[in-house]
Chains A and B, each alone.
Chain A
Amino acid sequence: MRKHLRFFPTLFFMLFAQVAFSQQADRITGFFPGISFLRFVELVEGETSYRFYLKELDVKDLTVNLQAKEDKLEDVLTVIFDKTDLKFSISNQKEVFISKGEKLVVKFAPDYFLQNTASSSSLVQDEFVRNRRYTLGTPGPGTEATLSGVITSLENQKPIEGAIVYERESQRQTLTNREGRYEITLPKGDQTLLIQNIGGYTEQRLLNIQGDAALDITIGEGIFSLSEVIVRSGALTNVSRPEMGVQSLSVQQLRKLPAVMGEVDIIRGILTMPGVNTAGEASVGFNVRGGAADQNLILLDQNTLYNPSHLFGFFSAVNSDMVQGVELYKAGIPVSYGGRLSSVLQVTPKAGRQDKIGGSGGIGPMTSRLSLDGPIGKNTTFVVGTRLTYSDWLLDYLEERADLGASRAQFGDFNASIQHQLGEKDKIRASGYFSKDKFQFDPDTVYSYSNLNYALTWTHYFNDDLEADFSAGQDKYDFEVQGEDNPLNSYLYGFDITQTFLKALFRHEKGDRHIFTYGFHGIHYDLNPGKIDPLGAESIVIPDEVPREKGLEASLFLGDEFEVNEKLTLSGGIRLNWFGYFGPQTLPEYAPGEPFLPENIIGETNYGDGELVKSYLGPEMRLSGRYALNNWSSIKAGVNTMRQSIHLLSNSSVITPTDTWKLSDTFIQPQTGIQYALGYFRNLENNAIEFSAELYYRTMNNLLDYRSGATLVLNDRIEQDVLVTKGKAYGVELYLKKVTGKLNGSFAYTYSRSLMLTDPTERKEQVNRSEWYPSNFDQPHTANLVLNYELSRRVNTTLAGKYSTGRPVTLPVAKFEYGGSERVYFADRNSFRIPDYFRLDLSVNLEGNHKVNKVAHGSWSFGVYNILGRDNAYSVYYIPEEGKLNGYQLSIFAEPIPFVSYNFRF
């Protein structure tokens, strides 16, 4: 299929020669701290044989502020002229011509190259390879041709994995694999191929494609990252990728957001995206397109995180130093993911570097973190990272000033992964994550929770078209309260989840137009929904336990990304989901047709160990399509259905650790949902500005809402308190993003509604008379603004703003006397709203200098959270005070909060 042409060795040689050249003297080395361009010219002319030709007027305001080491003049000039309209070209005689506006492009005749390659490699070396047009392939039938080759590093000649290879006009793109290999099909004719290495700059090749050809390219590995390089993979794919409703965030983007308490936080980053909101400020639980917080699947690599927060959401559980990027799928969820109704948040961990052992870390007022990564031997790399609090000193300090009791709060987390290359075709990765939180607010009661996740993944490349990931692992979450208030009533309460999974994922490219994804995903659940035991010999608390629950979820999936033609790409699939609930279990039998209430129990059934109690089988469908209107705009549409068999029992508006998990059983059916979405995507100003508009409508069934006064803790008959509830959500999301320039940023506006309805057939209780009522996270208007201004390469300021409609609350409307006290009577569920939310944050990042050989690179981050000091209501409540009922709103972070942190990497 792939044709290697005769001239391939020559071309290869030519590009290799460039490396040899790198050893020569005419490279630029030196530190240029804000000198004038003319001074820079003088220095370069003094050190090298280059001679400059320019108009002084053109460059009189230009300064040079960079550090270079053995860099090509072309690259240095590209950086200096970035964001100016100055252009340059360099002749064979090392004459540098600088012009304003128009670029002097040397364009060669198609045959020129062929004629010259064999004989004059030295000539080629001198050419500015970026602006030369290469002719590739031999003319043949068809309008398209396939290019393939290897991208290697200029610095160490190693293949570069994950570099983006794309064509400017057609927006087609691909990524290099672990061997640096890429393959891309492009229309024949004159094309501009761009190669972007993550963390590096963009390399360019002008091509005249005649037919299939091989093209190996050597690129610099980003020694030039004087400015933060924005990973533009999201931007590149925004218009062209077939799925919709996907938001990507690189860790570089995350770092630009103001950090509370000095911690870069992935969830806070996600919250700047359209369609994502949070019920409260101190909450890691987030809501996607009107869905509940437990409807988000949070994956750290292959592992599910059941509690993604430390200290109730003040920090994300994932250490940002260990993260390469995050992707949030709000719609168009790939078939390989499933099990949650609203979204998938895939956190991609950082891979260990291969050249040397390095690391990074940070010191903030409450936490510190440190991570190390690098190679062990030739084929193995590792990453380890940890984060710890030392907030106790703060609490101690406060305790001296305020009577806070014996408060203690600690948390820590630990990540590790090791990856080993087993020969050419196999790779093995083992990874683990552990986190622990422990806190107490009085000497008597200790709360703690922990996550423990580990997984083993084996990636096998069968051939160029087929690769597979096989993974197995376990996710554990447990929560515990130890109460020792009174020796007689001392107790130990807890719940836990153990989830063991096995996953096989195949990715198969069939021809040029199909990419099949198929596989199997099995999860075994073992849940302890709640257990209380007496603590100490004196305690008379009776041990109580909600029986353990066991379930098995098995999914088979098949998806296809089908490029119908240049304009139309379809992506679809089916995921067949089977869920079984297993014994040992004793379940009541309710009279047929009667509501699940204690008075309707007519019997009991015992199920033995491993006996199937109840099973559910259902398909999940995914379908989305992208139609390219032209090179810079497309429309997309999609529909997908989801199923969820594990539910968070919570009747508070935010995730709290007492919320316990429950599997679907005979009475609690899996939640199901369907989402329809339509979007328009457009890139402007040569991809510098991205715009998207998405509409969605979704309905959900078997949601869990609870009857009044339901008790969720240690309730072994939860079906008696659950109301059969339907949900619907709809909205429009507008997103504008500017990715380049000194001033960049994004603006997102979302209009969305999220409503619930007690099924009219529900006889236990009908919330609000079985009319649609707003869910706890129905916030119609949400706007997010992130503005970055790069004052210089080392100083970067960010302003972030957030506005949203206040969330619904249930408020009292009348009062009465009962039981000797004044009581309040609450209006319909969620018929009021707390005041609207608005906040502005400001941060300044100061990068240290960029000397390549410095031992460590440090940066300072200063900022103010809630710079306006606005009292945003977190909640409102009424309390009786001296016989009167007074309403209060509680605000968290109601004052401007300054923060500072020091981050370093080495």
Chain B
Amino acid sequence: MTEMKSVVEKLLGAFPNRALINISSVAMGYLGRICGVGGILLFLFSCRTPFDPEPQGKSVAILVVEGYLDADGKKSELRLSRMTDLDSLNAYSPELNATAYLESSAGTRYYLEEKGDGIYLFEETLSFDLSYRLSIQLQNGEQYQSDEIIPIETPEIFDAGFVKDEEGVEIFVNTQGNEQADDFLWTFQEDWIFRPYTLAPFIYDQTLREVRDRTPAEDIYTCFRTEPNPGILLETSSRFQEQVVFRQTITEIPTGDERLQARYSILINQMAIPSDAVKFWEILKKNTEEIGSIFSPLPAVISGNIHGLETSNLAVGQVNIGKVRQRRIYINRADVSPWNYSNKVFSGCYVDDVPLLIGSFEYHFLFGSGSHLPARPFLGDGPILATYIIGYNPIETRCADCTLYASKVKPEFWEDE
């Protein structure tokens, strides 16, 4: 049962894409690496085994509130959910039929509209001179309220770009803080084209019982994958001279990664947050990403700025109001060439040299069953080619159909080259 494994590997593996958060991240980054220390020294002797403590019995179903509400009229979401047991399959248990509104210090109420799955939409323009309070009433009658929230106007993203080095591609932003907006939170969404091993431009038409060209709607060569929320990043601008946050790493794409196989897009959201929110996000990161190494700090109690009106009703969440600054960039494979990509799901893929001749049993059986796709037309193998197609070289469907792995639906925002 004992799994001898390098602590380095397992612990450092738990902290991908570590970014320096702020000054304290000097220590955090440090602590993260110390595990490495321990790891190396103890390489021979340390190991980890699954740990399953006795469950405490009662469930902890605390309300979870998440959202950064845009004060500029842009559509933004508030998510309400309940915590679930550690061994449950789903971590997200939406809180439905709640009523939520934002009330300004001038007394105006702005109601949020329930969209379903625990998501409540907010689409209002707010004054940056007032303060606000979020109120939530659940369907079971429990009431929650936020602390006073002061909107912060997020500075613009000066620039977003990428650089390539031997390790891969690093995507960054440049911005500058100011007196109101010192701490920044970045979230991002990644989308990319996913291609199968090869193009199969033909389709076996079940009604015609023969192979024909694919229509554009039947295309299975270009699909899209998306990673809506890969992580959060924090930085404090006052750490730097003149509060210039220069080349803040948003994400790193390792060399050969599938995301840059054709065309990739990243939407970077930049939000200024107050310093108490930084604490919340740091605890969140610490609790999840940095617990359990040899020198890791003790986990901390997390709460945020939402509280139950009854003190027994606990809530976790940090809701802030401000302006979301966005920047989208695209990267083509040609921009980072050479990019040696190969995907192990396509191992063993090849276009068979032996063609399936039109009308043969195999032609109807393999193409008709959907197990193979016609990849290349076959015009004969003699010195003089036929003037019409006499068969097709087949390929396994798994090698040519991207819809098995990704969505064919092109995202709304997607711009082709």
B-contacting residues of A (Cβ < 8 Å)? 280, 282, 311-312, 314, 391, 395, 398, 402-405, 407, 409, 439, 441-442, 445, 447, 481, 483, 488-489, 491, 493, 532, 540-542, 544, 651-654, 656, 658, 708-715, 765, 767, 776, 810-827, 829, 832, 871, 873-880, 885-895, 897
Contacts and interface: CB of A to CB of B under 8 A. Distances in A.
A875 B187 contact: no
A404 B288 CA distance: 24
A889 B3 CA distance: 11
Nearest to A489: B20
B45 interface: yes
B26 A483 contact: yes
A888 B301 contact: no
Contacts of A407: 36, 40
Contacts of B387: none
Given A656-B295, A709-B300, A874-B294, A894 B46 contact: yes
Given A826-B302, A894-B2, A819 B187 contact: yes
A703 to B, nearest CB: 15
Contacts of A813: 56, 60, 86
Interface in B69-86: 81-86
Contact of A893 (B24, B42, B300): B42
A894 B230 CA distance: 35
B187 to A, nearest CB: 7
Interface stretch (B238-246, B329-337, B378-386): B238-246
Contacts, number: 271
B34 to A, nearest CB: 7
A703 B58 CA distance: 33
B133 to A, nearest CB: 18
Given A441-B33, A708-B283, A897-B45, A817 B64 contact: yes
Contacts of B6: 402, 404
Interface in B214-245: 228-232, 238-241, 244
A441 B294 contact: no
Contacts of A540: 240-241, 244, 246
A815 B81 CA distance: 11
Contact of B46 (A402, A878, A891): A891
28 contacts: A311-B41, A404-B8, A439-B37, A442-B36, A488-B247, A489-B20, A542-B238, A544-B23, A653-B298, A654-B294, A658-B31, A709-B280, A709-B300, A711-B282, A713-B23, A713-B26, A714-B24, A814-B84, A816-B92, A817-B81, A817-B91, A876-B51, A885-B86, A888-B48, A889-B48, A891-B48, A893-B45, A894-B47
Contacts of B412: none
Contact of B53 (A391, A409, A481, A811): A811
B60 A825 contact: yes
The 6 closest A-B pairs by CB, nearest first: A877-B292, A820-B229, A708-B300, A713-B27, A814-B83, A889-B51
Contacts of A711: 23-24, 27, 282
Contacts of B240: 540-542
Q: For chain B, which range describes its interface: under 10, 10 to 19, 20 to 34, or 35 or more residues?
A: 35 or more
A889 B47 CA distance: 8
A879 B296 CA distance: 13
Interface string B28-64: 0111011011111111111111111100100111101
B252 to A, nearest CB: 12
B359 interface: no
Contact of A810 (B7, B238, B298): B298
A653 B292 CA distance: 11
B84 A818 contact: no
A103 to B, nearest CB: 54
Interface in B287-332: 287-288, 291-303, 316-317
B49 A871 contact: yes
A710 B27 CA distance: 12
Most A-side CB within 10 Å, residue of B33, B64, B85, B301: B301
B72 to A, nearest CB: 22
Nearest to A409: B41
A408 to B, nearest CB: 9
Contacts of B38: 282, 312, 892
Contact of A409 (B4, B7, B40, B298): B40
B281 interface: yes
B286 interface: yes
Nearest to A532: B26
Given A817-B91, A823-B287, 13 more contacts: A409-B41, A441-B37, A489-B20, A652-B297, A656-B295, A709-B283, A813-B86, A818-B316, A819-B66, A819-B229, A874-B46, A880-B288, A893-B46
Nearest to A895: B45
B53 A709 contact: no
B49 A658 contact: no
Nearest to B14: A879
Nearest to A825: B83
A22 to B, nearest CB: 54
Q: Is the interface of B mostly helix, strand, loop or mixed?
A: mixed
B279 interface: yes
Contacts of A395: 40
B293 to A, nearest CB: 7
Nearest to A815: B91
A488 B280 CA distance: 27
B300 to A, nearest CB: 4
B121 to A, nearest CB: 18
B64 A816 contact: yes
A655 to B, nearest CB: 9
Nearest to A869: B2
Contacts of B294: 280, 282, 312, 654, 874-875, 890, 892
A811 to B, nearest CB: 6
B246 A876 contact: no
A871 B53 contact: no
Given A814-B86, A894-B46, A825 B23 contact: no
B284 interface: yes
Contacts of B232: 819-820
B239 A652 contact: no
A814 B20 CA distance: 28
Nearest to B85: A814
A314 B247 CA distance: 40
Contacts of A814: 59-62, 83-86
B174 to A, nearest CB: 11
Contacts of A817: 64, 81, 91-92
Contacts of A651: 297-298
Nearest to A652: B297
B51 to A, nearest CB: 4
A412 to B, nearest CB: 16
Nearest to A830: B298
B43 A892 contact: no
A810 B291 CA distance: 10
Contacts of A885: 86, 91
A708 B282 CA distance: 10
A710 B282 CA distance: 10
A403 B88 CA distance: 35
A658 B7 CA distance: 20
A493 B47 CA distance: 31
Nearest to B286: A709
Given A541-B239, A814-B84, A817-B91, A404 B26 contact: no
Contacts of A880: 288
B287 A824 contact: yes
B64 A824 contact: no
A409 B6 CA distance: 17
Nearest to A660: B27
A314 B40 CA distance: 13
A815 B229 contact: no
A598 B239 CA distance: 18
Contacts of B39: 404, 441
Contacts of A314: 41
Contacts of A878: 86, 291-292
Interface string B82-118: 1111101001100000000000000000000000000
Contacts of A491: 26
